[in-house]
């Protein structure tokens, strides 16, 4: 009996697609409330295509890897504009859309359309890597594992087979302590026979997180606070934050803020520090509070090319903000 998950109770390619994208690098229990909320707000692909990007990012807020949400929006607009809102049925065609990789395409094609397509997410990679004791380096192993996945998928029931494989990886063949005695493949598993199945497949070397250090300045003017929109490209693209000044070469936060803002600020006060982990980066932000004493639009050059707004705290929630900014808001309370 597989796990009872809401995206398994439907054959709607749109709902399956949303779940597959949300589940990338994110646990099922985290995804569940986001999935329900998303489908309540945007029940069809036409609703997603017609939505403002800002509203889409707001629905995604807290899930991280925001490029996923931006690609969902782009792909929905392409499907509506170029294909009348109808999903392609083959994995190959699906892969032409932004943000849909081979495994996601295989999952949509097999689950929504009953196509005999393979998948290779982290769970499936682990199960097959152990079952066949694949010990090649990750780049060489990928082709081998795709081949195995495609050979094994049941043409009569590709959806059930793929979902069962994922469940096996998520619940039995887990990363650090596989429960081999409960596994239906225990008799044939080469990894198990080797005595240490966790050696397979070879894991990619863990990337070292680079550090971002800076100052977040919470600036008030007559009860409203300055919010700046991040650029459309790069880390946290398009999200809103308090002005952030990176400390490239060290220095005291107050000094850096004075250099960045000149004589526009007064009453600088330290509120504390925020730490946040991104996929490949670790952010440390000193948080300062200050009063704005210049004309409201007289932003320093570094910020004046960006969209900005002055908002009271009760309106902040209307703006999509990254997790580290929510931590900053907590320091203010």
Where on the chain is the footprint of ligand SF4 (CB under 6 A)?
A: 127, 130-131, 172-173, 178, 180, 183, 185-186, 189, 191-192, 197
Residue tagged active-site, from 20, 61, 117, 241: 20
Task: Return the closest-CA partner of residue 212 out of 174, 241, 232.
Answer: 241
Cβ at position 191, least distance to ligand SF4 in Å: 5
CB closer to ligand SF4, 185 vs 278: 185
Examine the residue annotation and report whether 20 is marked as an active-site residue of this protein: yes
CB closer to ligand SF4, 201 vs 322: 201
Rounded Cα gap, residues 164 and 127, in angstroms: 11
Cβ at position 145, least distance to ligand SF4 in Å: 13
Rounded Cα gap, residues 145 and 141, in angstroms: 6
Task: Return the closest-CA partner of residue 111 out of 73, 68, 49, 166.
Answer: 166
CB closer to ligand SF4, 13 vs 178: 178
Q: Which residue has the tokens 């894991």?
A: 203
Cβ at position 167, least distance to ligand SF4 in Å: 12
Cβ at position 169, least distance to ligand SF4 in Å: 8
Cβ at position 201, least distance to ligand SF4 in Å: 11
Rounded Cα gap, residues 251 and 263, in angstroms: 19
For the CA atoms of 121, 126, 127, 131, the dihedral, rounded to the nearest 10 degrees, stands at 140
CB closer to ligand SF4, 39 vs 189: 189
Cβ at position 196, least distance to ligand SF4 in Å: 9
CB closer to ligand SF4, 59 vs 128: 128
CB closer to ligand SF4, 97 vs 189: 189
Cβ at position 179, least distance to ligand SF4 in Å: 6
Task: Return the closest-CA partner of residue 284 out of 316, 254, 245, 314.
Answer: 245
CB closer to ligand SF4, 2 vs 296: 2
Active site residues: 20
């Amino acid at each position: 009996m597989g796990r009872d998950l809401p995206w398994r109770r439907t054959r709607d390619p749109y709902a399956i697609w949303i779940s597959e994208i949300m589940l990338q690098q994110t646990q099922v229990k985290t995804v569940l409330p986001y999935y329900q909320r998303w489908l309540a707000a945007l029940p069809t692909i036409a609703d997603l295509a017609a939505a403002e990007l800002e509203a889409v990012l707001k629905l995604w807020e807290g899930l991280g890897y925001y490029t996923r949400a931006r690609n969902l929006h782009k792909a929905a607009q392409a499907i509506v504009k170029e294909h009348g809102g109808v999903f392609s049925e083959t994995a190959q065609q699906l892969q032409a859309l932004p943000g849909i990789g081979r495994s996601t395409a295989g999952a949509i094609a097999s689950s929504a359309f009953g196509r005999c397509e393979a998948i290779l997410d982290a769970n499936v990679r682990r199960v097959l890597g152990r079952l066949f004791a694949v010990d090649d380096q990750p780049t060489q192993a990928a082709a081998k594992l795709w081949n195995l996945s495609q050979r094994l998928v049941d043409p009569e029931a590709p959806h059930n087979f793929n979902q069962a494989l994922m469940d096996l990886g998520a619940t039995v063949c887990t990363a650090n302590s596989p429960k081999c005695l409960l596994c239906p493949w225990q008799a044939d598993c080469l990894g198990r026979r080797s005595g240490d199945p966790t050696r397979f497949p070879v894991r990619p070397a863990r990337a070292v997180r680079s550090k971002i250090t800076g100052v977040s300045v919470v600036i008030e003017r007559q009860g409203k606070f300055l919010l700046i929109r991040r650029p459309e490209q790069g880390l946290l693209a398009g999200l809103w934050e308090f002005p952030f000044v990176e400390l490239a070469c060290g220095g005291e936060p107050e000094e850096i803020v004075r250099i960045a803002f000149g004589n526009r600020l007064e009453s600088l006060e330290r509120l504390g520090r925020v730490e946040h982990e991104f996929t490949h980066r670790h952010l440390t932000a000193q948080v300062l509070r200050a009063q704005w004493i210049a004309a409201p639009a007289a932003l320093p050059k570094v910020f004046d090319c960006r969209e900005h707004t002055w908002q009271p705290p009760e309106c902040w929630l209307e703006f999509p903000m990254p997790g580290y900014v929510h931590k900053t808001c907590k320091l203010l309370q």
